[in-house]
Amino acid sequence: MSDHRDDEHAREHDRPLSGPALRAKALESLLVEKGLVDPKALDELIDTYETKVGPRNGARIVARAWVDPAYRKRLLEDASAAIAEFGFIGRQGEDMVVLENTPKVRNVVVCTLCSCYPWPVLGLPPVWYKSAPYRARAVIDPRGVLKELGSEVPEDVEVRVWDSTAELRYLVLPERPAGTQGWSEDELAAIVTRDAMIGVAQVKSPGQSKR
């Protein structure tokens, strides 16, 4: 990728609040002040896109890859095209790469510069993903970060960290948990979490306690 795009990326995100973000903030304040919008309702709306609607798209991709080897192959070879088969296309998701977890490799996604994130498949990035500590430490000490997040990685498993950019967005294909033989695609999609697709958690086996 060219220097030009990297500069653009940095410029785009390093400013404290861009024009549109400022406008959004101003609008929010005004609506709240006029009593037209309940800040709690707004938080709930954002939470919905962060944890429910958005990541459900990615979960469907993962579930399909788990049950359909031909789809899995297409997904790993050309993620953008395979994801577009579901119609999940749009801004911040034009160039996708899917990273496959294996018993020996765990992939973790970060954006060290700002908060690049695959919107069409994961929705809005969570606050911690955008935080400076995660962005810095995910690269320096990924094992430490994973451990703190309750997902310790054994010594003999390699951890690969992928730095998102304005032009490349990543989605982790987690391992299918044991005990899910014969499950339908919908049942599988229901257990795939956002954090597993960022790479900071694994998909739990059924009956295993949530972290």
Sole window of 69-77, 96-104, 108-116, 176-184 interacting with Fe ion (rule: CB under 5 A): 108-116
Of 88, 79, 119, 101, nearest to 192 by C-alpha is 101
| Helices and strands, counts by H and E, the chain | 12, 4
Query: Does 82 contact Fe ion by CB under 5 A?
Result: no
Helix 19-33 and helix 39-47, axial crossing angle in degrees, nearest 10 = 140
Q: Which is nearer to Fe ion, 171 or 191 (CB)?
A: 171
Task: Give bridge partners of residue 158 from the DSSP assignment.
Answer: 105
Tokens for 43, please give them: 């938080």
Closest separation between CB of residue 200 and Fe ion, Å? 17
Is 115 tagged catalytic? yes
Catalytically annotated residue among 2, 18, 115, 209: 115
Marked catalytic residue, from 2, 18, 116, 151 = 116
State how far the alpha carbon of 62 is from the alpha carbons of 14, 86, 98, 188, in Å: 32, 12, 10, 8
- Least distance from C-beta 145 to Fe ion, angstroms? 18
> Applying CB under 5 A, which of residues 63, 75, 109, 114 lies at the interface with Fe ion?
114
Length of the chain: 211
Instruction: Tell me which residues in 149-168 interact with Fe ion (CB under 5 A).
Output: none
Say whether 164 is catalytic: no
| Strand partners of residue 161 | 108
Considering the complex, state which of residue 66 and residue 170 has its C-beta at the smaller distance from Fe ion.
170
Shortest CB 12 distance to Fe ion, Å: 8
Residue 122 lies near Fe ion (rule: CB under 5 A): no
| Residue from 2, 80, 114, 205 carrying the catalytic annotation | 114
Q: Is 80 a catalytic residue?
A: no
**Amino acid at the residue 166:** A
CA 77 to CA 67: how far, in whole Å?
17
Q: Are 93 and 120 in contact (CB under 8 A)?
A: yes
For Fe ion, the binding residue among 116, 122, 173, 192 (CB under 5 A) is 116
Shortest CB 116 distance to Fe ion, Å: 3
Could you list the active site residues?
Answer: 111, 114-116
Binding site for Fe ion (CB under 5 A): 111, 113-114, 116
